[in-house]
Amino acid sequence: MAGLRRSIPVFLCVLVWGCARAPEYWPLPAQRTVLKPLSFRAIDHFASMDQPNAASYIVRDISPELSGGAWHWTGKRPTLRFRLLPRERLSFLMDLVLYDEGFRRTGPVSISFAVNGKPLDTVRYDNPGEKHILKPVPAEWLHTGEDNHVTAEIDKTWTPKGSHTVYGFILIRAGFVQSP
């Protein structure tokens, strides 16, 4: 009987606590569909050489190292690749620099541009400095959703004294833009 007397206070405490008011009810928050992560395209229609994935555009003859925080050196025949969405009236754009020291050694240079193996244009430069190329590309030369290769071949390269590295020009940005 003594055990029963000791358990009665415990039982009453449990009973009192068990009779407390139930917590308020809150409905679950509205359920939302989880967003799928955006698909990141390794390459696109345009590349600035200072962007983090610039190396994925390089096919050949372009230094993988970023120089000056914004550009890459090229060799004689740099080639880039781009992926295009269906668009009409595209032009190829390239910004480059003919380096003063190299130009003093080579003199005037010509750069030939080709898109997917088809000659687009050849441009002659009689002085060093920044250059801007913007040339319309026939739509039938381009491939939607596939790699499109662009080659820019310089006729004369230079090599600094004491080096074995061949330099063409400084590449800043390149790709395809909508023509007006």
Structural tokens at position 52: 């983090």
Domain extent listing, the chain: 46-178
- pLDDT 10s per residue in the chain (180 long)? 555 566 666 665 555 555 556 556 556 666 554 444 434 456 899 999 999 999 999 999 999 999 999 999 999 999 999 999 888 899 999 999 999 999 999 999 999 999 999 999 999 999 999 999 999 999 999 999 899 999 999 999 999 999 999 999 999 999 999 987
Query: Chain centroid to CA 177: how far?
Result: 15
Model confidence pTM above 0.85: no
C-alpha to C-alpha distances, 58 to 5, 47, 76, 98, nearest whole angstrom: 87, 10, 14, 19
Q: How many Cβ atoms sit within 10 Å of the Cβ of residue 153?
A: 19
Q: What is the CATH number of domain 46-178?
A: 2.60.120.260
